[in-house]
Each structure stands twice: as structure tokens, then as C-alpha cells.
Amino acid sequence: MPPRVQAVVIPSESSEFAEELTRLLKDVARSAGSFLSAECSPALDVYETDDAFEIAMDLPGVDINAVRIIAKGNAVLIAGEKTPRRGRGDTSFHLVERAYGRFARVARLTKPCDSSRAQATFVNGELRISLPKISDRRGRTTSIPITDARPLA
């Protein structure tokens, strides 16, 4: 049977990660250089399979060392920086449509995940994060033994 796929709605707020975000952005700045004033918002997909939540984010041209991921509760924060392409010498741009700068996206998951077993890969400009779901134990049948507590006569 093919895995069931369910869409998940994601608000793009990062306020609950304020401390972590500040620390991450400073850390990324040290490894990738200084931050620009512009902000960008890379495209993000979140979907659920039978076994895991999957997050895919388009990050073409982004150095993987400029990206950090933190899981907290049922939310995942992805933060980093996309540096602009620099022209050579006397180059002047006539049109710039691609966004550059710092980014921070929060993906909210609808069920608990085992973030200790999460995996992230970066291939061809796409970041993929897989967060295995925690099994729901409420659906299992469990036999509970009964102890005879009658006093012995």
C-alpha cells in the first residue's frame, strides 16, 4: 500500500524561537560573513507520510554551513543566510528579482516527532528534513494482568 500523504498548514512566525534564532543568526554570521539588511523567505513544503514528517526547502546557491536547524516541541526552525552574487569589477545589475539575506522559517507539525532521530540532507540546492513520528500508543491493545487481592482465609 503506498504511503498516505497529508498536507500541513504552516504559519511562518518565529517568535517562540526568539532566543534560539538570535543565537543561530549570530552563529551563521560568524561562519558565512556579515548579514545583509534584506530578508528572504525560501519556499518550503511540509508533508506527512505514514512514518514521518518531511520538510523540503529550496535553497539554491546557499552554503550549507550558513543554515541551522532546531526542533522544539512540535515546531522546526530553519534559519540561515543567502548571500548575493557579486559582480566582477565594473559590473552593474539591470534587474535583481531573487531575494537575498537572512531567513528564518518555522514549520509547525501536527503530531509529536522523535527529533533525536531526525535527518537532514542537502542535495542540488534542496534541503530535506525527515522527522520520524512517535508511535501513537493509544491505538494498541494491551493486556493488563489482574492480581487477586482477596485476603487468604
Dist CA 153 CA 150 (whole Å): 9
When pLDDT is averaged across residues 59-86 and rounded to a whole number, the result is: 86
User: What's residue 90's pLDDT?
Assistant: 74
User: What's residue 137's pLDDT?
Assistant: 56
The answer as to whether 13 is a domain residue is yes
Average pLDDT of the chain is 76
Among residues of the chain, what percentage have pLDDT more than 90?
20
The answer as to whether 59 is a domain residue is yes
Q: Which residues does residue 131 pair with via DSSP β-bridges, in sequence order?
A: 53
- Provide the whole-model pTM: 0.65
The answer as to whether 10 is a domain residue is yes
The answer as to whether 34 is a domain residue is yes
The answer as to whether 25 is a domain residue is yes
153 residue type, one letter: A
Contacts of 136 (CB under 8 A, 6+ apart): 111
Among candidate residues 68, 66, 127, the one with its CA nearest the CA of residue 101: 66
Domain that holds residue 46: 6-84+97-136
**How many domains does the chain fold into?**
1
Per-residue pLDDT tens digits for 30-52: 554 444 344 788 989 999 999 99
**The domain that contains 57 carries what CATH number?**
2.60.40.790
* Residue position matching grid coordinates 536547524: 69
Per-residue pLDDT tens digits for 78-107: 988 888 777 667 777 788 777 888 888 889
